Structure 1
Amino acid sequence: MVVEHNPFAKRYRKGMKRIALVYPNRYVGGITNLGLQYIYARINESDAICERFYADVFDGLRSIESATPLSEFDVALFSLQYETDYFKAVEILKRSGFKGLKIAGGPCVMENPQPLMDYFHAFFIGEVEGYVEELIHAKNAEELSGIPGVFTGREEKVKRVYAKLDRHIEKEIIGEGAYGRCFLLEIGRGCVRRCRFCIVRQIYFPPRWRKKEMLPEIGEEKVAIIAPSPSDHPQFKEILQHYVEQGKEVSPSSVRADTLDEELADLLKKAGVKTLTIAPETASDKLQEVINKGIGDEEVMRAAELASTRFEKVKLYYMVGLPGESFEDVKAILEQALRVKKLVGKVEISVNPLVPKPHTPLQWMGFGGEEELREGISHLKKKLEYLRREARRAGIGADVSGFKEFAIQTILSRGDREVAEMLEGASYRKFEKYLKPINPDSPLPWDFIDHGYRKSTLLKEYDKIKKIL
């Protein structure tokens, strides 16, 4: 039973257009998605009615508000945040018997919608603010085709749309999400950094901040601050201080180690933060240069020192399978975590294989980080198992992912229309060509999307990586 406060709930009246907002993953993730919050509020302020669907509530087949079957709705808007959500999305569409207009959006759609072309009438490439009513009132794919940001397969190119960040929404659905029961506060969108592995800079460019005066007064006791890199906000400390003075518990999504100083650490402690979360991604100086993250060992240890007297735990995020990565580079992850543990006491690491994402300088790299795929996967498995085993021995909490899930993510993010067979039960091994390095002269399945950058810019960054290696 889901318990939540919903200020936008609306009763269906005959003649209303019914819109289903489908998040094909768990409720705790969906309720913390501010884009979905905005869409839901906007539709229910119009002459239509919107109800939500989550994978773990009625198996995604009936709405959370009224338990109405998906098949009774006119339009289904799917939000795809992770490539592995495609499987549940397709299952929901098939089992529900939904016959209405099917539209997908979200970051996965913005990177490459090709694997989903057989399942949706249209895809929205960009940020939907300003286009919600046009989308829901379209009668068919032909009418959708003229809306900015919409790709139906008829268009040769589609230009990604982005929104100006105005005043923050004043009301939200409050439920038990990934941050607990809290108000979600988006202070920025896009990223000012140039990490070579990350897709955020390209698909949410230009970076935008909400000024402190654009943020609302909040009734909830807890505030979750949302942005790709919250501590890069020029007024981050002022925003924290404002809500701390109001007696709020404040939880930022993460903090860059190189932005943490004594003043910020003290503010975070006053805000009720118990765990400091930082993402070095790698403990190797050479690989830091490769990925252009800019968080070296010195910054990590400085953050650990500041955390030692203020927080109960430090959580460190890493990736393996980076180009040019040796086993010594992987051992350095454990060594760094052990040195942090000496200062803080309680340390957790989260380790994922790198997915060479579209629209990044690493998009031409092979999965596993090596030229020969079989060798790369074999080494990747050994690296993951080493970290899993040795972290346990060292008393370090470790969430170390398996390689298969991330191989599937890579295929679905870099694949063409043919990889849809995986969503019908075909083995990922059939499409291992999408795990291999890509010739920079070859056309890419996502070339039809205009995110506002030049491909030549990514190629220059790719060449820099090769020179480092």
Structure 2
Amino acid sequence: MNERSFMRKLALRDEILLKIEKPARYIGNEVNAVMKDREKVDVRFCMCFPDVYEIGMSHLGIQILYDMFNRREDVWCERVYSPWTDLDEIMRKQHIPLFALESQDSVKEFDFLGITIQYEMCYTNILQVLELSQIPLLAAERGEDCPVVIGGGPCTYNPEPLADFFDMFYIGEGETVYDELINLYKEYRAAGKSRREFLVAAASLPGIYVPSLYDVTYKEDGTIASFAPNTPGVPETVEKQIVMDLSESVYPQAPVVPFIKATQDRVVLEIQRGCIRGCRFCQAGMLYRPTRERDVEMLKKTAEAMLKNTGHEEISLSSLSSSDYSQLEELVTYLIDECRQRGINISLPSLRIDAFSLDVMSKVQDVRKSSLTFAPEAGSQRLRDVINKGLTEEVILNGAGQAFEGGWNKVKLYFMLGLPTETEEDRKAIAHLAEKIAERYYEVPKEKRNGKCQITVSTSFFVPKPFTPFQWAPMYTRDAFLGSARTVNHEMKEQKNYRSIRYNWHEADVTVLEGLLARGDRRVGAVILDAYKNGALYDAWTETFHREYWEQAYEHTGVDPAFYTVRERDTEEILPWDFINIGVSKAFLKREWQRAHEEKVTENCRSKCAGCGAACYGGGVCFEDKN
């Protein structure tokens, strides 16, 4: 593009941006954004997060891949996010194609469009990105002039509801196979090979799943009869890709700094991947096994570089369970010394509430302003054993007591409703536990208390997820979810200290839809497409979610959502995601499903290997072998 046409394009863009909310979402040129000469690169990769800029800029995975791609001289990676509804309306009326932030070029001009699929409620936003990019929604209708649309992220562990819309999916951690994929693309393009020839070749790479190369058949009862490749040489099983040595893998020293406040406006330091705990409802805890730590010296150097290169005033330690990082004390001590000198705050999410954690938090937080977060998940000990939470009531109350004695008076408690085997007594136990925590506060001597006790109880509704021991479990209906919340709410008001307790709960409509999309098969793709055509967009946002758009789609497509939500699955049934190997064996998941019904607790990985299979996956070693 010559300079004159480029300036015309910028003038048109600026004219449009003056008419919308938060134009800084779309202008690019942020600190540490990468600019390259488009004529000097071989491959252009557009990285997309299908939600608004503020949320997408908070996503660590995109920052890692953006940095990794742009280290290659032959690749220029740029970014794009879902336009908010105001810009969406203008682009449709004026037929303006969606553009990348760095070059402002149309997304359709790129070689790859990589979409991070972080949560199910963004599925209609994916179709928005494709349509505004003027890329056919269905992969089967794309020609040689379209970018290769590739999906990654946690939702790709059941890619089937989105199978019709993607050319391929990357199953696993992005640091492993992307270089091979890009090199293969360059080779096939140089040889003049077709789009399909490239897709067939790419399917032989580890972790790459090309949906068009597989066929699904169904039984009369609607369950899957078979799932198999339809092309010679395509593997029957797709293997999850993982990085075993995180300390040597790529990590951004200079992440892009957003112009406007992001959801998480801070430096993010990932200290480990995986989790040793084995909660039976937790998909991330199973997907990211085995647990892998980054070396503490690498983290110190990285933290120093990121703070210097961004100007952020806060650093957050990222992990599924930060307390389980073996070098946490040394790292936090170092950061406290460094950050105190610079006036930088430290955020420590995902800590277990024990004496060490409380001591650390008291050093890095303003105790009088901050609140502590507990996630008991279930009110009764029986149900905590069912979900393998690994927390006793004694531990919870002792932790709360130590926190109150340390000066905290604000506590947030997170629970789930609709868990397998849940009873009315289990629901009422949520209120009883909140009451016991409030009572524990008033046992603290008055001189140590910090004003009134403030307890916030939040309940989400349980959604069974693929590759968890609860993947076979039935979900509650919308009315059952709301009924369970009413039970908790009523019981909460019966407690002596109810004025110190505030209760809120999640939206049931959204939860039921999430359940459909989480465990759906390819037939659900028609529902997503129909709902999008009805107007569904930004389904994760309360103000833009419309239940009626989805109900119309169910009726029009003939898909019964109850088949995917409230139906309990047989453990021998072929599940839509069974063709993926994540390292954790199906035999282990079945065993944990059985132990849940027996109310038996399975020890954490550091205490005793449970034989899930992930310890040996990709060359890993279990904790028992290390010792």
Paired letter, 1:107: P
Paired letter, 2:112: V
Moved more, 152-161 or 223-232: 152-161
Q: How many residues align?
A: 457
Paired letter, 1:294: G
Distance 1:27 1:384, change over 3 A: farther
**Please, which of 204, 212, 227 is the counterpart of residue 288 of structure 2?**
204
Distance 1:51 1:386, change over 3 A: farther
- Give, in whole Å, the separation in 1 of the partners of 2:209 and 2:466: 17
Distance 1:186 1:310, change over 3 A: farther
- Give, in whole Å, the separation in 2 of the partners of 1:35 and 1:384: 34
Structure exhibiting the larger radius of gyration computed from Cα positions: 2
Q: CA deviation at 1:350?
A: 2.6
**1:68-467 → structure 2 map (5 Å cutoff):** 68-98=105-135, 99-109=146-156, 111-137=157-183, 138=185, 140-153=198-211, 154=213, 155-163=235-243, 164-167=245-248, 168-175=251-258, 176-180=261-265, 182-215=266-299, 216=302, 217=304, 218-219=307-308, 220-246=312-338, 247=340, 248-257=344-353, 260-261=354-355, 263-272=356-365, 274-308=370-404, 309-311=406-408, 313-341=410-438, 343=441, 345-368=453-476, 377-387=478-488, 394=499, 396-424=501-529, 425=531, 426-427=553-554, 430-435=560-565, 436-467=567-598
- Give, in whole Å, the separation in 1 of the partners of 2:465 and 2:149: 25
- Unaligned 5+ residue runs, structure 1? 369-375
Distance 1:229 1:400, change over 3 A: same
Moved more, 170-179 or 248-257: 170-179
Is the contact made by 2:421 and 2:597 (CA closer than 8 Å) also made in structure 1?
no
Distance 1:108 1:314, change over 3 A: same
- Give, in whole Å, the separation in 1 of the partners of 2:490 and 2:66: 44
Deviations 1:295-330 (A, max 9, x none): 222222222223223445322211110112112211
Paired letter, 1:316: L
- Give, in whole Å, the separation in 2 of the partners of 1:160 and 1:93: 26
Distance 1:119 1:326, change over 3 A: same
Distance 1:61 1:330, change over 3 A: farther
**1:10-25 → structure 2 map (5 Å cutoff):** 10-14=35-39, 16=41, 17-25=43-51
Q: CA deviation at 1:4?
A: 8.4
- Give, in whole Å, the separation in 2 of the partners of 1:391 and 1:88: 38
- Give, in whole Å, the separation in 1 of the partners of 2:81 and 2:109: 16
Q: CA deviation at 1:358?
A: 1.1
Q: CA deviation at 1:70?
A: 2.1
3-state SS of paired residue (2:350): coil
- Give, in whole Å, the separation in 2 of the partners of 1:55 and 1:305: 45
Q: CA deviation at 1:157?
A: 1.1
- Give, in whole Å, the separation in 1 of the partners of 2:315 and 2:121: 29
